Chain A
Amino acid sequence: MLTFSHLILGLFQALLLLAAAPLVSGLSRMVRAKLHTRHGPGLLQDYRDIAKLLTRQDLTPPNSGFAFRSMPAVMLTTVLVIATGIPMLTRFTPVAPIGDLITVIYLFALARFFFSLSGIDSGSSFSGIGGSRELTMGVLVEPVMLLSLFVAALLAGSTNLGAIGSAIADGHVRSATATVIAALSFAYAIYIELGKLPYDMAEAEQELQEGPLTEYSGPSLALIKWAMALKQTVVVAWFVGVFLPFGSAPEMTVFGLLFGLVAFAIKLVLIFAAVGVVENSVARVRFRLTPQHSWVGVGAASLAFVFYLVGL
């Protein structure tokens, strides 16, 4: 059951992640610059960007309305709420009623709903197409996410993310092969969700994932940039919490939490470094070919499911 200290832990880790998110996206930018053998921006560049944007003026298109104005707040809020439910420093989910695999997937849909809607609401054709593509990616990715997590959940006997993570950490899963394949297909789905090459380029403002951002400026843009950095971090934390829970605290002790924090930071840096290497060594895939790729994810997740059924 949810206790007060768990709730505090959940809020703490959400705010911690919020504070660290621009650092993570700064790291991505640094890795890319290094791989391009450019000098590139510093690690703290995204903090500077956000701070500068916050002091600028907000410009809105004449026909935009409620959906356009509320989107930055809705998006940041939703991702923060998801962050309270993902096991990061601990093995269990801090706020258990949110750390359910179905709830998390559908909370992401809330963010996606408003993100894409703002694209239409801005009245710009470019934003509209961006919104449509964002949703299409959701259609292609969500089933893969659900199936791979569902297989892991069946192995653990619970849909709670913390329970799945604990079962994997303790080796209580019946089929190791199925777990590994499920982890791989989930990693693939997460990678698409990150909005990196070859499927997207989150940094290029003419690209899909930032399509709906075309018309934003000033504090609104700052909030969205922050929210998107946070979303990337949360999505990776989601993967880490379920499939790589090693090093996190099984109980809530001060030492355990500190150790968990260090382990979590190391895992995050390693994964983002690896993601940086992948995204800078591939070329952009044409949008209409994306389903062919996502079928690979479906296939991998199905394979994990078959291995689970057979019990290998």
Chain B
Amino acid sequence: MTPGARLVQVDGLVKHFPGARALLGLGRARRPVRAVDGVSFAIESGQTLGLVGESGCGKSTVGRSILRLIEPDAGRVTLDGVEVLALGPRELRALRRRMQIVFQDPYGSLNPRMTVYQTLAEPLAIHRLAAGPEVERRVRSLLEEVGLDPAFARAYPHELSGGQRQRVGIARALSVEPQFLVLDEPVSALDVSVQAQVLNLLAELQRKRRLTYLFIAHDLAVVKHIADHVAVMYLGKIVERASAAALYGAPRHPYTTSLLSAVPVPDPTAQRQRIVLQGDVPSPAAPPPGCPFHPRCPHPKKNDRCRTEPPALREVAPGQLAACHFAEEPM
């Protein structure tokens, strides 16, 4: 595949979770939660898209829907031209060789009853990639590749530290030699010093294996380190999407601006104008009419149009899209 070609493409992805239902699903369903509400983006081969947002904005649901760990309700996902959402169970399992996921919680994402060896050997067995002594060799080289001593193969997850577990999680994802990785908050449960180690490892693996990443995170500073492009989500929708340089340098959506200004910077002398957003994120079961951000929006020009007309995600500068009526006049 030529570099720069679109490896992953997502169009109009929608996922609504039904409200709780009564006996046998016969009762009246409660209002559905619109976790993902029409999300579109593309990732070029070998690049990283950072998907950023606060808890409950739907960013993890997007990642899992692409892999069909969650079945989306509508939309299109293609991986290297293959329609992911149209695949039957057998083809889907075969496709999972090419896309993998690394989870946030290094404690919950490893089976506590399986050794590291068993965890890493399982995908090889499922896809019949190796057998006999070859399995052992592959597990060894995977562990070395993620910076772990091969002796860890015999260890159980509870004998490892958080950073070591996360390395095992990465090794498991790499074991089937995928092209595309969904990284779902891979460093947010780790300590600062370990977080840096894992981020470096991810960057190095991307270079060596020419991987394509969807990096899901709530931490804008972490994303800045690894992403080529960034998409910011709010209440199930992408509100801004741009190259990292544009998004961090000249954000167009007031939510992005506020988010950036809210991140604490480890510099006591920094003179920053901090925008403190008022109120809480509304429930995705009952998003506000018009622009979903309008109740909290600090933009000075906010008016009735924001309360009634939902802004479309549109190109405001070359390669920079924002869903705001006043994107041309950023704060």
Partners in one complex: no
Taking beta carbons and an 8 Å cutoff, which residues of B are in contact with A? none
